[in-house]
Amino acid sequence: MESSKALFYEESYLQKSSSTVVALKKVGELDAIILDSTIFYPEGGGQPGDRGFIDNLKVLDTQRIDNEICHLVENKGNLSVGSVVTIKIDWSHRYDYMQQHSAQHLLSGMFYTLFKIGTVSVHLGSDDFSIELDSLDIDDKTILKVEEEANKAVCSSELVSDSIYPDSEIPKLNLRRPIKVEGDVRIVKMGDYDRIACGGIHVKNLNEIRYIQFLRTERIRGHLRTFWVAGDRSVSLIRKNREIVDISGTLLSRGGEQVVDGIKELQRQIVDCNYHYAVQSVKVAQLLFEKEAVEIENHSVAVFDATGWSDPEFKALAEVLLNLNNVALAVVREQNGEKLQWMVALKQDKEDSSFFKRVKEEALPLIEGKGGGRTPLWQGVGTKIGGKKEFLEQLLTIFTQILSSRTF
């Protein structure tokens, strides 16, 4: 039997109360406070534990451990056994999950009543809640029908109640899911829409759920997992989406349903712009390469610092090289003052297998560079920015020696 009286069942809307400390213990690195009575709901049934305050101590979580309701705090302060305290829950957090949990019950009941689809598991998250169903082939039409009927039930304003039944009475209730515990069982009833065993806390009236929205699905373990929001979360999502549509319409100079067409047109324009930008980047890289290039033994040799070049222009150098013959390139580019991008290439009639070996041995150590590639292009990064001048000078020496030693 629990040492704390569970006021959260007797008065689920009670937000503040007084209590007496009956025990203190450690749970990992946190202190756990056990009270003679509590309005804090401990995590269970997919519903998270309550947060709030015990006097001025912030309760981070509430857990049931060894059949005791533990209020977890960073430090128990000057509390001791026998201390009389004021306890206050984070009501917005509690009520939010009451709405989500109640909506989940209603939806699970609708899936079963309308389509004989059972619930495998549920998860109440901080942004949405999920219901994993015992079927994989459920189309959107079926899900939207459940959403519609559930919201009709919300509007019915029927009461939500709970009662304790002995296990001998359970078979007579025709519940949609078998009971997994022995002894007395708490049964939660939502009007005529659902009746199921549950240890969680729910709203008193279905109209408090406000509105239920279907979000999306995913396939998992041969089942279909559905995602939803309800209550104040649902209203906030509607308002947020409306704001997004309004802002998007203003930016696109389009209204209502035309926003989608405006986004499609904008996507097409972006694709066109990216294509033309890529083409122009190649042209710019070509011109900048030619500006830096000098002739050495009938080869165009360009060795330079490209800091200041844009990403597309720097990347376009590789395409420039593919369209040239008898070319040598060594270039570096600083990135955020933290590292160097480097690129080297040697394109000639006869491949020189010793070229990159010399680059790795004689040049890359100067910038603490790493990378790779294959003939005729290699690239990578270096972490020693101060060595870039020596790096380029060494590459120019390597190019000059290799090209001057060629036999024509």
Q: Which helix (H) or strand (E) holds 123?
A: strand 119-124
Tally of domains within the chain: 3
Last residue of a domain, one of 42, 61, 89: 89
Q: Which amino acid belongs to residue 345?
A: A
35 and 111 in a single domain? The answer is no
Q: Say which CATH number the domain at 43 has.
A: 2.40.30.130
Q: How far apart are CA 97 and CA 197, in angstroms?
A: 18
241 lies in a domain?
no
Residue 51's domain comprises 5-89
Q: Which of 237-251, 278-292, 318-332 has the lowest mean pLDDT?
A: 278-292
Segment 57-76 mean pLDDT: 96
340 lies in a domain?
yes
Neighbouring-strand partners of residue 294 = 301
With cut-offs at 50, 70 and 90, classify the pLDDT of residue 320.
confident
Pairing of strands 5-6, 37-38: parallel
108 and 137 in a single domain? The answer is yes
263 lies in a domain?
no
261 lies in a domain?
no
304 and 358 in a single domain? The answer is yes
pLDDT in tens, 381-406: 999 999 999 999 999 999 999 888 75
pLDDT in tens, 179-201: 877 889 999 999 989 999 999 99
pLDDT in tens, 20-29: 999 999 999 9
DSSP 334-358: EETTTEEEEEEEEE-SS--TTHHHH
217 and 290 in a single domain? The answer is no
Q: Say which CATH number the domain at 167 has.
A: 3.30.980.10
Last residue of a domain, one of 37, 55, 89: 89
179 and 125 in a single domain? The answer is yes
61 and 114 in a single domain? The answer is no
109 and 216 in a single domain? The answer is yes
Contact 187, 162 (CB under 8 A): yes
297 and 389 in a single domain? The answer is yes
130 and 71 in a single domain? The answer is no
pLDDT in tens, 102-151: 999 999 999 999 999 999 999 999 999 999 999 998 999 999 999 999 99
81 and 205 in a single domain? The answer is no
Q: Characterise 336 by phi-psi region: left (phi > 0), alpha (psi -120 to 50), beta (else).
A: left
Last residue of a domain, one of 89, 109, 144: 89
39 and 112 in a single domain? The answer is no
273 lies in a domain?
no
Average pLDDT, the chain: 91
117 and 224 in a single domain? The answer is yes
| pTM of the predicted model as reported, rounded to 2 decimal places | 0.72
Q: Which helix (H) or strand (E) holds 283?
A: helix 258-292
Q: Say which CATH number the domain at 357 has.
A: 3.10.310.40
Instruction: Report the 10 Å Cβ neighbour count for 140.
Output: 10
Q: Which helix (H) or strand (E) holds 52?
A: strand 52-54
